[in-house]
């Protein structure tokens, strides 16, 4: 090759542009500078020059990815520049020779110039990275939303195999367990939490997202709640599985860390407590609050009075403040200077902080690629998740599904509890309020009070108890459900004409009451007693005789006599709750 890169020394009759040869094995054009039949010095796997149209790389710049037009493009580009055939033949050939000389010079620069350059991301690809889905609700003190950058953040995520591998996205309702630990592990955490803690479930939130994604309910579970912890299988480092024995009547926060329990133990404890099947978990440490609040340039909070807590190091005057970093962590940890000074008062601060953080993310952080990146980095570095969402791509799919819920349809509530008479430092479940609340969430009902009906209907006349005649069959309830119901109807409600008709001919999922038109008043009375939904009432076409009873078949939805079949549609009185979009919440 001569110094001008003309192809073969001494052969001036060869047009360098004609040395571009299509290789059918690779689908690329190759510059053949050697005599016919000899191998080209140019690797065949390299992409054809000209594939990145629009860029220009002057000869001799050290980049061996040529962007000049291929031979098949030269006439078309020549036409664009000039309409004369002579100009296409003459000017085009000169241009091709210049292209060949430039490529030859680049190839002559040595092995370093033969290295394939790292391709740059196009603007379109960058946009796709930034516009990924909502990550989920995750925070040491509770939960928040963040975007996932598809692949770049994969290495940040830690995961735990809890023995349950659910799909990232499902068609049904989703129950996300968010756990904040009090472990002092991690940079800057030495001064927080219990110095001897192995990482307990210091803050736990169960986020229920409805089947149709129209609403979400976040249930805060007090750490000092006395409950039962079931047996828990945990994966060991050597790959084996160890069963950690359960305990009865212990603090909820010991479901994690104590005796070597992993997040799967908290997962199973919450399922046993609430009756809701967990889909996924996210666990974070103290750094999540600090890093996430820094990433969004602070979160606005409100203090209803001056706060000076030497234990959490929080000092705020009454009014609104923007907190981040250490101050944000102090806000979600403080409790001695607000409310009753208990963990229950701290939960309300955490709910205020989370709602404000979600609003900040939606209003500003998601509009900036830089902020998105900071939030995603902070969230994924602080996260430990289950294997079902154990990668950035799975988290993106999961978050994209979760972001369908509007912020004004997210409600935070605290699981109702009572002071434990045996130990005032702990609390016990308030069954009268908690059971209806759990059933309401299980039924996908949004937490709302005072719903007004769209139209008033004339009240249905109800029969007196002594006229309610019904045969009760067990078609899926617990053993003895029919007799239990008859005893309850006769002894509690005064329905002496109720009878145990034994087992139904087949099992049914839902309780059904069959009645005749002339028994509508009896059906109305029984439906009111048992809390039957309208779907449970089946009216026949013809009237029944005076002594013909109605037929009540108990389904699998029957739990116990006196417990309504239909889940409540309004939040039980006395259950603390706040909407995530409420900007007027202040710590008092």
Q: Is 496 helix (H, G, I), strand (E, B) or coil?
A: coil
Whole-angstrom distance, CA of residue 146 vs CA of residue 227: 32
347: tokens are 């939960």
Q: Is residue 154 exposed (0-12), middle (13-18) or buried (19+ Cβ within 10 Å)? A: middle
Task: Record the pTM.
Answer: 0.67
Q: What are the backbone dihedrals phi and psi of residue 392, each rounded to the nearest 5 degrees, phi first?
A: -60, -40
pLDDT at residue 374, as a whole number: 77
382: tokens are 């602080």
Task: Provide, for the chain, the percentages of residues in helix, strand and coil under a 3-state DSSP scheme, each rounded to the nearest 5.
Answer: 30, 20, 50
Q: Which residue has the tokens 């719903």?
A: 451
| DSSP per-residue codes, 383-423 | -EEEGGG-SHHHHHHHHHHHTTS-GGGEEEEE--EEE-TT-
Question: What is the DSSP code (8-state) at residue 487?
Answer: H
476: tokens are 């899926």
Strand partners, 282: 178, 385
| DSSP per-residue codes, 66-132 | --SPPHHHHHHHHHHH-S-HHHHHHHHHHHHHHHHHHHHHHHTT-GGGGSPPPPPPPHHHHHHHHT-
| DSSP per-residue codes, 177-220 | EEEEE----STT-TTSS-TT----EEEEEEEEE-TTSS-EEEEE
Judge: domain 133-445, CATH 3.40.50.150.
Answer: no
Q: Which of 242, 204, 243, 247 is nearest to 222 (CA)?
A: 204
Q: Which of 420, 417, 438, 410 is nearest to 222 (CA)?
A: 417
Q: Identify the CATH assignment for 465-554 out of 3.90.280.10, 3.30.70.2390, 3.40.640.10, 3.30.1490.20.
A: 3.30.70.2390
pLDDT at residue 72, as a whole number: 38
Q: Residue 42 in contact with residue 139, Cβ under 8 Å?
A: no
> Any idea where the domains of the chain sit in the sequence?
16-114, 133-445, 465-554
pLDDT at residue 457, as a whole number: 55
Whole-angstrom distance, CA of residue 283 vs CA of residue 379: 10
Whole-angstrom distance, CA of residue 156 vs CA of residue 288: 13
Non-local CB neighbours of 523 within 8 Å, separated by 6+ positions: 513, 515, 537, 539, 550
Whole-angstrom distance, CA of residue 156 vs CA of residue 138: 15
**pLDDT digit string (tens) for the chain, length 588 residues:** 434 443 344 444 544 445 555 566 655 555 555 544 444 444 444 444 444 444 444 444 444 333 334 343 444 444 444 444 444 444 444 444 444 444 444 444 444 444 455 444 443 333 322 223 333 443 322 233 344 455 667 788 899 999 999 999 999 999 999 998 876 665 655 555 555 556 899 899 999 999 999 999 999 999 999 999 999 999 998 999 999 999 999 999 999 999 999 999 999 999 999 999 999 999 988 888 888 899 888 999 999 999 999 888 899 999 999 999 999 999 998 988 888 888 899 999 999 998 998 888 777 655 666 777 777 788 788 789 999 999 888 887 888 888 888 888 999 999 999 999 999 999 999 998 999 999 999 989 998 654 444 444 556 789 999 999 999 999 999 999 999 999 999 999 999 999 999 999 999 999 999 999 999 999 999 999 999 999 999 999 999 999 999 999 999 999 899 889 988 888 888 899 999 999 889 988
User: Max Cα separation, the chain?
Assistant: 119
């Amino acid at each position: 090759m001569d110094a001008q890169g003309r192809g073969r020394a001494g052969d001036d009759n060869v047009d360098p542009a004609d040395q571009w040869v299509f290789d059918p094995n690779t689908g690329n054009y190759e510059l053949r500078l050697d005599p016919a039949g000899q191998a080209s010095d140019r690797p065949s796997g390299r992409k054809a020059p000209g594939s990145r149209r629009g860029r220009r790389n002057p000869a001799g710049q050290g980049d061996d990815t040529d962007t000049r037009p291929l031979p098949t493009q030269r006439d078309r580009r020549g036409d664009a520049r000039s309409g004369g055939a002579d100009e296409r033949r003459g000017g085009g050939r000169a241009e091709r020779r210049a292209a060949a000389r430039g490529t030859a010079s680049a190839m002559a620069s040595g092995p370093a110039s033969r290295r394939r350059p790292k391709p740059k991301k196009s603007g379109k690809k960058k946009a796709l990275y930034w516009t990924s889905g909502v990550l989920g609700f995750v925070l040491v003190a509770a939960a928040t939303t963040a975007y996932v950058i598809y692949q770049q953040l994969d290495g940040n995520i830690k995961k735990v195999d809890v023995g349950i591998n659910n799909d990232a996205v499902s068609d049904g309702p989703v129950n996300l367990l968010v756990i904040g630990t009090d472990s002092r592990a991690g940079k800057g955490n030495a001064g927080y939490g219990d110095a001897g803690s192995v990482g307990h479930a210091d803050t736990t939130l169960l986020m229920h997202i409805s089947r149709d994604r129209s609403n979400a309910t976040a249930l805060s579970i007090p750490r000092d709640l006395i409950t039962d912890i079931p047996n828990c299988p945990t994966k060991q480092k050597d790959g084996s599985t160890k069963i950690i024995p359960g305990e009865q009547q212990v603090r909820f926060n010991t479901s994690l860390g104590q005796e070597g329990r992993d997040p799967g133990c908290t997962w199973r404890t919450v399922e046993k407590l609430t009756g809701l099947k967990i889909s996924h978990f996210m666990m974070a440490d103290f750094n999540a609050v600090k890093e996430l609040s820094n990433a969004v340039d602070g979160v606005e909070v409100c203090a209803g009075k001056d706060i000076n807590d030497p234990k959490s190091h929080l000092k705020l005057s009454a009014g609104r403040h923007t907190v981040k970093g250490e101050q944000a962590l102090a806000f979600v940890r403080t409790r001695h200077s607000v409310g009753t000074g208990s963990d229950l008062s701290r939960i309300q601060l955490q709910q205020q902080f989370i709602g404000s953080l979600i609003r900040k993310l939606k209003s500003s952080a998601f509009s900036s690629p830089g902020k998105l990146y900071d939030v995603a980095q902070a969230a994924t570095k602080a996260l430990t998740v289950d294997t079902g969402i154990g990668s950035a791509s799975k988290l993106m799919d999961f978050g994209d599904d979760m972001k369908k819920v509007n912020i004004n349809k997210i409600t935070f509530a605290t699981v109702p509890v009572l002071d434990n008479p045996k130990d005032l430092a702990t609390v016990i479940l308030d069954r009268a309020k908690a059971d209806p609340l759990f059933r309401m969430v299980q039924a996908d009902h949004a937490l709302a009070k005072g719903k007004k009906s769209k139209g008033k209907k004339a009240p249905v006349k109800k029969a007196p108890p002594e006229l309610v005649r019904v045969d009760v069959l067990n078609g899926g309830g617990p053993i003895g459900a029919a007799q239990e119901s008859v005893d309850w109807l006769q002894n509690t409600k005064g329905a002496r004409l109720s009878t145990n008709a034994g087992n139904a001919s087949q099992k049914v999922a839902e309780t059904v009451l069959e009645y005749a038109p002339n028994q509508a008043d009896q059906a109305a009375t029984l439906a009111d007693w048992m809390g039957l939904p309208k779907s449970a009432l089946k009216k026949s076409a013809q009237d029944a005789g005076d002594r013909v009873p109605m037929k009540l078949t108990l389904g699998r939805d029957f739990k116990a006599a006196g417990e309504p079949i239909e889940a409540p549609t309004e939040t039980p009185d006395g259950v603390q709750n706040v909407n995530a979009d409420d900007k007027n919440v202040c710590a008092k």
